[in-house]
């Protein structure tokens, strides 16, 4: 009976590609219906020059039309080629392949985790994923592949590490003790909203450091507990092949020599790199954009050499580590070995590329319809139209931020709609502008991992499929189901932190307070 049941589930399992195609079709039809009934929303944005509200009207663009079909056919290839996760993943995998093929990753992971407990390894992985939100979206193409290898070398199901890493990256997306490039942009919008009531209002750079530090530790511990007590037990046992299931890996003299070579070469490279992002020293700061005021903006602005070349900078680091390890450990003996290593991680990426193609198509179609902007605009008007008290306003902003993220993952796009309305409302209710931004960011953390509209969701999906040993594919709904416990419990913990901080009234950072 069980055999026939498994075959039935195998036949009924919808492949992620088919799911994305169906979502594309639903989006096109929905855009046609909403456009036909004249769905539109007008919300207020702050004019930065006049410091007054400027009405902005958003209409639904119908793709269920001749012009819509023209858009799809003329832009699909361009959207795929310009899809950021695609280029980032391919470039990073070049360096990742050298580290893996040479043996650097296996040696380094073995030495670091040999005497560590499983829960400790998981916690460190999750904490790094949360902390790495500081550098934007790059960690998604670094930490997810690394998590799979980390758990595989630890003789555990790689899917456990991938699920935990993605949970850490998404649930920690708005948690950072330092201002990220996104936070800096959001802060500018927050200040605009505050200036509608107080033209002299200012927010210090470290206004969020206390509450963020607490949130980072608690969320990391929470994700670790869910991973070890729920995810690890739910996922099937991973069957290692003969090569992977060999006796305990021994780190010998050659491996240690290779590791020393790699660390010395990598350290020299990193010192040169770090020197070039420090301003004010002789011949330093060459990777910065000096047209910006804040240091974080000098690093991550659109014109910054650091920002534009960061993926390649990390790839070169990975290549250096793998190459010099291979020289020292004698796993890279000639140019052919090195060349083969460069393409090692790209072997068998055909399925991944196809998944990325359909994910990019779905995201571009949904974005073109303006459905996400329409929904968030309606939420902003709902908040603006109600006379909500401080406590209710906090909970409502958190919930609407969480729901809005499902349809419009971009932090900056949502806050451009919410900020101008929400910040003055919060100030009138006695809630500080900096605390309103914290509430908004915490709400995003709760649900970013639950939306396939998030561009890097496809990386998570692709790597779960890579290590999938079942005859049926990993469905999109299964990958979402893995993230639900993380999202729900993270939402609960972050909301409790917000409420406790608001009630107690202690500073959320240096110069930042929950109330005015």
The reported pLDDT for the residue numbered 4 is 45
Query: Taking 60 as the threshold, does the pLDDT of residue 155 lie above it?
Result: yes
The domain of 43 spans: 39-504
User: What are the backbone angles phi and psi of residue 72, rounded to the nearest 5°?
Assistant: -60, -45
The pLDDT of residue 27:
97
Residue found under tokens 């709760």: 446
- Triad 144, 145, 149: Cα angle to 5°: 115
Residues 6+ apart with CB under 8 A from 49: none
What does the alpha-carbon distance between residue 470 and residue 485 come to, in Å, rounded to a whole number? 23
Q: How far is CA 75 from CA 72, 81, 218, 508, in A?
A: 6, 10, 43, 45
Better-scored residue on pLDDT, 283 or 158: 158
Residue 11 located in a structural domain: no
Per-residue tokens: 96: 């990742």
Q: Is residue 351 part of a domain?
A: yes
pLDDT digits (tens, 9 = 90+) for 78-116: 999 889 889 889 999 999 999 999 999 999 998 888 888
Burial class, 225, CB count within 10 angstroms (exposed 0-12 / middle 13-18 / buried 19+): middle
Give residue for tokens 């750079």: 205
Q: Identify the band that residue 198 occupies on the pLDDT scale cut at 50, 70 and 90.
A: confident
> What pLDDT, on a 0 to 100 scale, did the predictor assign at position 1?
45
Structural element, H or E, at residue 500: helix 476-504
Tokens of 448: 């970013």
Q: Which tens digit of pLDDT belongs to each residue from 328-366?
A: 999 999 999 999 999 888 887 888 899 999 999 999 999
Position 246 scores a pLDDT of 57
174 in Cβ contact with 133 (< 8 Å): yes
Residue 91, φ and ψ in degrees, nearest 5: -65, -45
Alpha carbon distance 116, 130 (integer Å): 20
**What's the mean pLDDT in 143-171?**
94
CA–CA distance, 82 with 471 (Å, rounded to integer): 33
When computed from its CA atoms, the radius of gyration of the chain, rounded to whole angstroms, is 24
Return d(Cα 483, Cα 407) in angstroms, integer: 17
Q: Is 336 a domain residue?
A: yes
Between CA 121 and CA 110 the distance in angstroms is 12
* Alpha-carbon distances of 256 from 253, 270, 318, 327, 329, rounded to whole Å: 5, 21, 18, 12, 8
Output the DSSP codes for 404-448: HHHH---HHHHHHHHHHHHHHHHHHTTB-HHHHHHHHHHHHHHHG
Rounded Cα distance, 258 and 337, in Å:
15
The overall average pLDDT reported for the chain is: 89
Q: What is the mean pLDDT of residues 130-148?
A: 89
Whether 23 is in a domain gets the answer: no
| Backbone torsion region of residue 283, taken as left when φ is above 0, otherwise alpha when ψ lies between -120 and 50, otherwise beta | left
pLDDT digits (tens, 9 = 90+) for 462-502: 999 988 888 788 899 999 999 999 999 999 999 999 999 99
In tens, the pLDDT along 199-208 reads 888 888 889 9
Q: Which residues of 202-213 are buried (b: 16+ CB within 10 A; e: fewer)?
A: ebebebbbbbbe
Helix (H, G, I), strand (E, B) or coil at 301: coil
> How many domains does the chain divide into?
1
pLDDT, tens digit, 9 for 90 and up, residues 211-231:
999 999 999 999 999 999 999
Above pLDDT 90, what percent of the chain? 65
Please check whether residue 12 lies inside any domain of the structure.
no
Least confident of 214-228, 306-320, 390-404: 306-320
pLDDT of residue 5: 46
Please give the pLDDT value at position 243: 54
- Give the model confidence (pLDDT) of 241-271 as tens digits: 655 555 667 788 999 999 999 999 999 999 9
Query: What's residue 341's pLDDT?
Result: 92
Report yes or no on 324 lying in a domain.
Answer: yes
The answer to whether residue 6 sits within a structural domain is no
In the structure, what pLDDT confidence band is assigned to residue 11 with cuts at 50, 70 and 90? low
pLDDT confidence tier of residue 8, bands split at 50, 70 and 90: very low
What confidence tier does 418 reach under pLDDT thresholds 50, 70, 90? Answer: very high
pLDDT of residue 2: 42
Residue 287 lies in a domain: yes
């Amino acid at each position: 009976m069980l055999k026939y049941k498994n075959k039935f589930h195998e036949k009924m399992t919808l492949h992620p590609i088919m799911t994305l195609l169906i979502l594309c079709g639903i989006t096109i039809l929905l855009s046609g219906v909403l456009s036909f009934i004249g769905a539109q929303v007008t919300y207020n944005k702050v004019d930065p020059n006049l410091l007054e509200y400027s009405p902005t009207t958003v209409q639904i663009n119908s793709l269920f039309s001749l012009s819509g079909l023209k858009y799809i056919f003329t832009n699909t290839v361009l959207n795929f080629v310009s899809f950021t996760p695609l280029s980032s993943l391919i470039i990073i995998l070049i360096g990742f392949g050298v580290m893996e093929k040479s043996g650097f990753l296996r040696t380094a992971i073995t030495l670091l985790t040999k005497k560590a407990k499983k829960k400790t390894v998981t916690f460190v992985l999750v904490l790094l994923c949360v902390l790495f939100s500081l550098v934007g979206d790059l960690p998604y193409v670094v930490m997810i592949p690394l998590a799979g290898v980390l758990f595989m070398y630890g003789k555990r199901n790689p899917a456990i590490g991938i699920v935990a890493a993605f949970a850490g990256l998404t649930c920690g997306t708005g948690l950072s003790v330092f201002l990220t490039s996104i936070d800096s942009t959001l802060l500018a919008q927050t200040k605009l909203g505050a200036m509608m009531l107080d033209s002299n209002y200012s927010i210090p750079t470290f206004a969020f450091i206390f509450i963020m530090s607490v949130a980072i530790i608690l969320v990391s511990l929470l994700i670790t507990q869910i991973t070890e007590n729920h995810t690890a037990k739910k996922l099937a046992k991973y069957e290692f092949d003969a090569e992977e299931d060999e006796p305990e890996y021994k780190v010998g003299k050659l491996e240690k020599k290779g590791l020393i070579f790699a660390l010395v070469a990598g350290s020299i490279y990193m010192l040169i790199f770090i020197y070039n992002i420090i301003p004010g020293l002789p011949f330093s700061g060459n990777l910065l954009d000096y047209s910006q005021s804040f240091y974080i903006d000098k690093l991550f602005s659109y014109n910054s050499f650091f920002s534009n070349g960061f993926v390649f900078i990390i790839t070169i680091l990975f290549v250096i580590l793998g190459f010099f390890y291979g020289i020292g450990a004698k796993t890279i003996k000639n140019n052919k070995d090195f060349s083969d290593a460069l393409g090692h991680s790209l072997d068998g990426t055909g399925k991944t590329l196809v998944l990325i193609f359909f994910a990019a198509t779905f995201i571009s179609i949904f974005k073109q319809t303006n459905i996400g902007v329409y929904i968030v605009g309606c939420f902003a008007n709902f908040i603006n139209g109600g006379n909500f008290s401080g406590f209710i306003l906090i909970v409502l902003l958190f919930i609407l931020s969480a729901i809005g993220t499902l349809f419009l993952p971009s932090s900056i796009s949502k806050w451009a709609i919410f900020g101008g309305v929400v910040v003055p409302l919060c100030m009138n209710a006695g809630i500080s502008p900096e605390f309103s931004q914290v509430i908004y960011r915490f709400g995003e953390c709760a649900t970013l991992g639950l939306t396939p509209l998030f561009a890097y969701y496809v990386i998570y999906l692709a790597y779960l499929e890579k290590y999938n040993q079942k005859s049926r594919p990993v469905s999109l709904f299964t990958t979402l189901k893995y993230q639900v416990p993380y999202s729900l419990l993270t939402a609960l913990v972050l909301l409790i932190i917000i409420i406790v901080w608001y009630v107690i009234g202690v500073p959320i950072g240096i110069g930042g307070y929950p109330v005015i």
